[in-house]
Structure 1
Amino acid sequence: MQIVLPIEELQPGMFVDSVHKQKSGSGVKIKSRGMVRDKRIIDKLVEKGVLELNIDFTQSEVGVPEKYQAEQQANGANKADKYPQTSENDGALSKSLPKTKRTQKRTFSEENTLQQEFSAAMQTFEKNNRLIQSLYGDVTSGLKMDMSLLNEVSRDIVASVLRNSNAMAILTRIKDKDAYNWRHMTNCAILITVFAKHLGLPQYIIEQMALGAMLHDIGHAKLPQGLINKPGKFTELEYRAVKKHVAQSLGMSKGEDGITPLMLDMIINHHERLDGTGYPRRIKGDALSTAARMMAIVDVYDAITADQHHKEADEPINAMRFLLASKKQFDPILVQRFIKCMGVHPVGTIVKLTNERLGLVLEGNKHAPTSPIVRVFYNTKHLHHVTAKDLDLSDSDIKVVASVRPLDYQLNLSRLLKDQLLI
C-alpha cells in the first residue's frame, strides 16, 4: 500500500518511495529510495522544501496511520463489489472502468531499472516459492491454510511489480513440472498484477487481484495428488473430480480475514467462459466480471506456457494465438490488452535473431511489438557465449526469427538470468 503523506506526518521507520510534491525551484531528488532511520533525515527534507512524499507501507517498519487505514478499508469495502464488468459487445475495455479511476493520479511510480529490481525479485521469488510449496504440502496433509503467508507473498509480488513490471515477470519463465502446482499460484499472481497495472487499475484493486490469483487454484491441494499430477489425459470421471477444485478453493477462502467479493469472484469464475462452455455454473456473457475474465486469460496462459506432468511447456506466442483464436470463450478486448501488456515476445523469452545470435528479451517495445529490447549473449553458429550486448531491435535491421527453448541450446534459464541480470 502506497500513500501520499505530508512531510509533517513523516516518521522514522517509514519507507520513502519518492518525492510527491516540493516547493517550486527546490529541485530535490532522492537518489536512493529507502527507510527513514531518524529525525535528522526528516529535518533535511523539510529544509530542502519537500512538502509531500510517496510512502510505501509494504516496506515500512511502522503501520499505516489510522486515518489513512480507515480510508483505504472504506474504499475497498465500498468499491470491490462494484468492480466493473465488460460485455461481449463492448467497443473498448475503458468503457467498463469507472471514469474517476481512469483519470485518477497514481500513487506509485516505476523507478527501478530491471537490474536494480531483479536481484531483490529473484530472492523474493525463490523464498516465496519455498513458502508456498510448504503451505501447499500442509493443505494437502489436511492442515489449515495460512492466510497470513499468502497475504505476505502477494504483497511482495505487488510491491516488486509496481517498482518494475519486468523483473518478476521474467521469473515466470523458469519452468519446473514437479513444482507446477504451487508455482502456478505464484505465476498467476505475478501475471495478474502486471496485467492490472498495465490497465491502470488502482492499487487497492491490484492488491486484491494478486491475492485472488494466489487462491484461485488452492483447492487442487485438497484433491488426490496422484490425480492432479497424472501424466496423460484425464478420463471423464477424473475430469469431473478435478473440477471440484473450484468448490474446494472457494470453501477454503470464504470467511477468511481480508477476503473480498472480488477475490471470491475470481476464484469461482476463472473456469467460466463467455460462451457458457465453462464450469462450474456455465454462466456466460455479461454475468462474468472483468476480474473473472482477466483471471481466465492469465490462468490459461500460464498453464499453456508451463511444464506439467502431462505436457511440455509451449511458447508464449502459441499461447497468445490460442487465446486470440478463442474469441467466443475469452474476452477479445482483454486478450488484445494482455498481448500488448506482455508483448509478442514476453520478457524472459529467448529469441533467435537473423544475425545467428540468441537474445534474452529484456523489455517490449509498445510501438513495435515484434521488435523487443534484447540482450544478445550467444552465437548459434559456433555454439558459444559472446560478450553480452543490449540491442533495441526497433532501431536495428536485425529481426527475431523465432523464440527458442533454453534446452535447445543446453541453456539453464535460471542460471542464465542470474548471470545476465544480477548486478
Structure 2
Amino acid sequence: MRVTLPISELKPGMFVDSVNKQRADTGVKIKSRGMVRDRGIIDKLTAEGVLELNIDFDLSEIAIPDKYQKEDKAQESATEVAKIDARERRRRAGKASEKSTSKRVKKKKTSTAEATSLEREFELASQAFELHTRKVQVMYGDITSGLKADIGLINEISKEIVDSVLRNSNAMAILTRLQDKEGYNWRHMINCAILISVFAKYLGLSQSLIQQLAMGAMLHDVGHARLPQGLVNKKDKLSDNEYKAVKKHVVHSLGLVKGEQGVTPLIMDMIINHHERLDGTGYPRGLQGSKISKAARIMAIVDVYDAMTSERPYQQGEEPVHALRHLLTNKDKFDPDLVQRFIKCQGVHPVGSIVKLTNERLALVLAGNKHAPTAPNVRIFYNTKHMHHITAKELDLSVPEHDVKVIASIRPLDYQINLSRLLKDHLLA
C-alpha cells in the first residue's frame, strides 16, 4: 500500500519507496529505497530539498495515518474490482483456449500445482518478484545492522517461488535476467532460489525436497550481510587478507540460521559446503569428491552461474553461454553430470535472454528445447537492419524448415532496449 505524503509528515518507521517531489534548485536523487530509522534522516532529506515522498506501508513498521486510509481504501477497492474483473476475463479466455486444444499435458509427480500458461503465470510472478525483492532488501539491511535473519520470511518466499516454478518453470526464470547492479546481494538470494527450483524440477525431485533446496539457496550467502559492505562490493581485486575475511561469510551464515525452526540438515549442508570443489580446492574444509553432497554440488553450480551472469558494482555480467562454458570446462571442480543436465535445463540461451538471429532480427527467448539447447522457442520483435520494433511473431528454432538460427546473445542496452519494459509489453496482457 503506497501513499504520497509531504516531508513534514514523514516519521521514523516509514519505508521510503521514492522521492515524488523536490525543490527545482536541487538535484538530489535517492538511488535506493529504505527505512527511515531516525529523525536525522528526515532532517537530511529536508535539507536536500525533498518536498514529497512515496511511502510503502507494506514494508513500513508503523501503520498508515488515518487521514490516508479512507482515500486509499476507496482506491484500493476500485483497483481490486478491476483486477478481479481482469483476472476473471483472462481465466475464461484461458479455459476457452484450453477447451479448443486437444493437447494433453502430462502432470509431473513433483507438483500438485496446476500448470499455467507463461503469460498467466508471468503476471503473478512479476508482482511476487518485486514484492519479494523489496522484503529481502529490508531484511538484508536489518541483518547488516545486527538484527537476526527472518527465517519465517525466507520460508514463505521460498514456498511462493517453488509454487510458481511448479506451475510454469519459465515465468520466474525469465525474471532472473533483469539486472540491478546495486541490488545484487539480495537479488542473488532470490535468483538462486528460482534457478535451483527450476533445476530441481527438471531433475524430477519431490516438491518437499525442492522447497528445502529453494530455502537453502535463499540462505546460502546470507552471512555476506554481516561482512563490511565496502568489502563485499569492493571494485578492485581483493587482497589475500580481504579474501580470507570474505570466506568467513560461511561462518556468519551458520550463526544466523543454526537452531532456527525450519532449517533442516540439508539446508545447513548447502550453506556450509556450496564453496567446496570436487578437486579439494574449495572452502571452508577442502572436501573432495564423494564427500560433497549432491545438494551442495547443485548449489555450487547455481551460485557460480548467477554470480557470473549478474551485474555487480564491480563487474559487468557475463553472457550465460560464457558462464555455462566455465562450468563445463572445470570438470575437476563442478560435477560434470550435473553441469550437463543444468545446461539442458537452462538451454544455451536461457529464457528471458535476447538473441540475434540469422535473418537480421532480435528475439526474446520464451522457452528452451530440451533436445536442442541452441534452438529455443523465441518471439521475434526487432529488425536490426532498419533498427525498429516489428510485429511480434513466435518461432520454434528447432523446426528445420524455418532455417533461422541464433548468431549470439546480445545485451539489451546494445540496442537501447529496456528489458523490463519489453517483458511487460510481450508477456502481460
Q: TM-score range by the shorter chain?
A: 0.7 to 0.9
Report the aligned-residue RMSD.
Answer: 1.3
Greater relative CO, 1 or 2 (CA 8 Å, sep 6+): 1
Q: Which residue of 2 aligns with 1:151?
A: 155
Report whether the alignment pairs 1:417 with 2:386: no
Identify if the C-alpha distance between structure 1 residues 138 and 375 changes in structure 2 by more than 3 Å, giving closer, same or farther: same
Alignment partner of 2:424: what SS? helix
Report whether the alignment pairs 1:296 with 2:300: yes
Paired positions, count: 323
Q: Which residue of 2 aligns with 1:190?
A: 194
Q: Which residue of 2 aligns with 1:115?
A: 119
Show CA shifts across 1:1-38 (max 9, x none): xxxxxxxxxxxxxxxxxxxxxxxxxxxxx949xxxxxx
TM-superposed deviation, 1:353: 0.3
Report whether the alignment pairs 1:308 with 2:312: yes
Report whether the alignment pairs 1:335 with 2:332: no
TM-superposed deviation, 1:228: 0.5
Report whether the alignment pairs 1:366 with 2:370: yes
Q: Give the conservation status (yes or no) of the 8 Å contact 2:113–2:163.
A: no
Q: Which residue of 2 aligns with 1:70?
A: none
Report whether the alignment pairs 1:402 with 2:402: no
Show CA shifts across 1:253-283 (max 9, x none): 1100011000000000000000000001101
Aligned counterparts of 2:228 and 2:243: Cα–Cα separation in 1: 12
Alignment partner of 2:398: what SS? helix
Where in structure 2 are the equivalents of 1:233-244 lying within 5 Å?
A: 233-244=237-248
Aligned counterparts of 1:384 and 1:406: Cα–Cα separation in 2: 14
Aligned counterparts of 1:216 and 1:369: Cα–Cα separation in 2: 29
Q: Which residue of 2 aligns with 1:139?
A: 143
Q: Which amino acid aligns with 1:413?
A: L
Alignment partner of 2:389: what SS? strand
Which runs of 5 or more residues in structure 1 are unaligned? 1-29, 33-103
Q: Which residue of 2 aligns with 1:269?
A: 273
Aligned counterparts of 1:374 and 1:139: Cα–Cα separation in 2: 41
Which runs of 5 or more residues in structure 2 are unaligned? 1-93, 97-107
Q: Give the conservation status (yes or no) of the 8 Å contact 2:162–2:214.
A: yes
Aligned counterparts of 2:272 and 2:172: Cα–Cα separation in 1: 26
Q: Give the conservation status (yes or no) of the 8 Å contact 1:216–1:266.
A: yes
Alignment partner of 1:394: what SS? coil
Show CA shifts across 1:38-71 (max 9, x none): xxxxxxxxxxxxxxxxxxxxxxxxxxxxxxxxxx
Which of structure 1's runs of 4+ aligned residues deviate more than 3 A? Answer: 104-107
Aligned counterparts of 2:260 and 2:137: Cα–Cα separation in 1: 20
Where in structure 2 are the equivalents of 1:340-355 lying within 5 Å?
A: 340-355=344-359
Q: Which residue of 2 aligns with 1:52?
A: none
Q: Give the conservation status (yes or no) of the 8 Å contact 1:140–1:221.
A: yes
TM-superposed deviation, 1:187: 0.3
Aligned counterparts of 1:327 and 1:150: Cα–Cα separation in 2: 32
Aligned counterparts of 1:166 and 1:363: Cα–Cα separation in 2: 7
Q: Give the conservation status (yes or no) of the 8 Å contact 1:233–1:310.
A: no
Q: Which amino acid aligns with 1:368?
A: A
Q: Give the conservation status (yes or no) of the 8 Å contact 2:343–2:373.
A: no
TM-superposed deviation, 1:106: 3.8
TM-superposed deviation, 1:306: 0.3
TM-superposed deviation, 1:297: 0.1
